[in-house]
Structure 1
Amino acid sequence: MKTAGVVGLGDMGSGLAKNLIKNGFSVKGADLLPNRCAAFEGLGGQICSSPAEVGCEAQAVFVMVMKGTEVEDVIFGAEGLLTTMAKGSAIILSATIKPSEARKLGHAMANSGIHLIDTPVSGGFPGAQAGTLTLMAAAPDATLDAFLPFLEAVSANIHRVGTQPGDGQTVKACLQSLIGAQFSATFEAAALAAKAGVPGQVLLDVFSTSSAGCGVVNNALEKIIDRQFEGTGSHINTMHKDLTIAMGLGEELGVPLHTAGSAMQIFHAGRSKYPNGDNWVCTRVIEQIVGAELHRDGSK
């Protein structure tokens, strides 16, 4: 039986672990929060006290933490993955970080004998839990071929977007600039409908069957009209971070990102007002300005 590892067992990492176990892998995992560790053990995983322990005997380890500095510590720290992982194994960078941070990691690992697969994901909490994520994978073809069973266990779509660390993160930044704009436009449209007295169900029926309908819009609108603003697996901190990365890449390359910039400010407002909320909570900020709320049945 092949052994996989997951460092970071939150909304996304728990889904990776769940589907690796489902596909027959022995899975080791680590997280700082005891409740996450307990849930992972309940799935049949082997909890570890450090990334180093996760990496011992694992052929591949997914790193699903929040920030580039956290990724660096997981890999290079005193109890990091590089202290125990065998040559020829792979670190699968599934977290979303800055492209420049991924390039730095790749450069630092160049002589380690351990592969780095830069493959951020898309699909959110539902995709992670269902094993239907889209992967933006960057590594030499031979490396991707060798570790394809690990990637296939957690995804429905694997796109080979480049060969170097940072290539996957660059594509993810472009994607998040679009998704952020879709979210923010949905929040504004929801507030407009609320002020005009349109029931939420009517708006959802029309949007979901129109050319504007898509997974991002439909899911966001469902959460808004049912007033589900926390605990849905899409914490606002993640999208706020991703938009920050996209804006930073635009600044680095001299590309104006007007729409993504507006989305960034909407998410910044939502995060400032409701730091424990999910993405859709941004709508509440706009609703409070206009004095109306959008409910499924049109009630106030």
Structure 2
Amino acid sequence: MKRICVIGLGDMGSGLAKNLIKAGFDVAGFDLSPDRLAAFEAMGGRPAASVAQAGDGAEAAFVMVMNGDQAKAVILGADGLAAHMAPGGSVLLTATIRPREAVEIGNAMDGTGIHLIDTPVSGGFPGAQGGTLTMMASAPDAIIAQARPAMEAVSATIHHIGTEPGMGQTVKACLQTLIGSIFSATFEASVLAAKAGVKGEHLFKVFSTSGAGCGCTNTALENIIDRKFANTGSGIGTMHKDLTISMDLAEELEVPMQMASTAMQIFHAGKSKYPDGDNWACTRVIEEIVGAELHR
């Protein structure tokens, strides 16, 4: 497998492309942004004028778009990947969408000769750029084996968690309920500390060396105390969207989700007030209510 394409060259997709190029693949790419295409070309990629052109003859295609409608359009449309990739190739659905949308895409791809690997990722901007993403892949063994060299170029950990479309997205939805809840609890704890007069550096040292310390807690708190609420590679719109997917799945399956629903509202407030901010901007909404800020 040598010829790859990446659809969507934003914070995440650009990282996929960079690491695929670094691994020696011939990588075509498409994005609606001319600036992103120019940056992609500068790193050694082949910019395409359309999804069809990017996918022409590709043996594997990474789809890193924002939502299910976009994924359906670039995979299933008349000028989509399924109609232009090399026979026997695989679409790697690395975007996070609703599980039922992944099922719909998989069903629609039956008979096209193109396979679907439902494999959302975790690790955010640092993981994408560093090639250390965690992948939650669902597809038959043989399909995973065929695409594994490309997957290993962008991921440090590949979990094969099923064979059917939708299973990868389901695991990702469960993961995001946990991450969103950890973030939200960290936001609240930081404001409680600020109101009580605790220094941010003291709080960070205690949290990071206790049982509560983890990548999610540490990253959130460090950005809060350094007052980095934008341009950290963790746009608030993505987590807001992911929690919406989690809550939608919980509604569908009739599972009560008290923590995730609270996190959803915290992120909704943050996105409403700071739509261009990062996840940590949710903290500012709570800080503004109580009139206290946490600094290092």
- State the TM-score, normalizing by the size of structure 2: 0.99
C-alpha contact 1:138 1:160 (8 A) present in aligned 2: yes
Deviations 1:141-178 (A, max 9, x none): 11101110011000000001110000000000000000
Distance 2:189 2:33 in 1: 37
C-alpha contact 2:56 2:84 (8 A) present in aligned 1: yes
What code does the residue aligned with 2:252 have? E
C-alpha contact 2:6 2:13 (8 A) present in aligned 1: yes
Aligned position for 2:271? 271
- Secondary structure of the 1:113 match is coil
Distance 1:92 1:156 in 2: 16
Distance 1:179 1:187 in 2: 12
Task: Determine if the alignment matches structure 1 residue 134 to structure 2 residue 134.
Answer: yes
Measure how far apart 1:86 and its partner are. Answer: 1.9
Distance 2:25 2:222 in 1: 35
Aligned position for 1:77? 77
Aligned position for 2:196? 196
Aligned position for 2:217? 217
C-alpha contact 1:55 1:85 (8 A) present in aligned 2: yes
C-alpha contact 1:15 1:128 (8 A) present in aligned 2: yes
Aligned position for 1:175? 175
- Secondary structure of the 1:5 match is strand
Deviations 1:274-294 (A, max 9, x none): 110000000000000010001
Measure how far apart 1:78 and its partner are. Answer: 2.9
Distance 1:201 1:59 in 2: 49
Distance 1:206 1:193 in 2: 12
RMSD value, Cα: 0.8
Q: Percent identity?
A: 67
Distance 1:295 1:42 in 2: 38
Distance 1:94 1:16 in 2: 10
Distance 2:275 2:78 in 1: 32
Aligned position for 1:102? 102
C-alpha contact 2:83 2:112 (8 A) present in aligned 1: no
Aligned position for 1:28? 28
Runs of 4+, deviation exceeding 3 Å: none
- Secondary structure of the 1:32 match is coil
Measure how far apart 1:79 and its partner are. Answer: 1.9
Distance 1:86 1:152 in 2: 21
C-alpha contact 1:100 1:166 (8 A) present in aligned 2: yes
Aligned position for 1:49? 49
Query: What pairs up with 1:105-254 in 2 under 5 angstroms?
Result: 105-254=105-254
C-alpha contact 1:50 1:80 (8 A) present in aligned 2: no
Distance 1:181 1:4 in 2: 36
Task: Determine if the alignment matches structure 1 residue 281 to structure 2 residue 288.
Answer: no
C-alpha contact 2:76 2:109 (8 A) present in aligned 1: no
Aligned residues: 296
- Secondary structure of the 1:294 match is coil
Measure how far apart 1:87 and its partner are. Answer: 1.4
Measure how far apart 1:34 and its partner are. Answer: 1.3
- State the TM-score, normalizing by the size of structure 1: 0.98
Distance 2:204 2:29 in 1: 39
C-alpha contact 1:52 1:82 (8 A) present in aligned 2: no
Gaps of 5+ in 1: none
**Bigger CA drift: 1-10 or 115-124?**
1-10
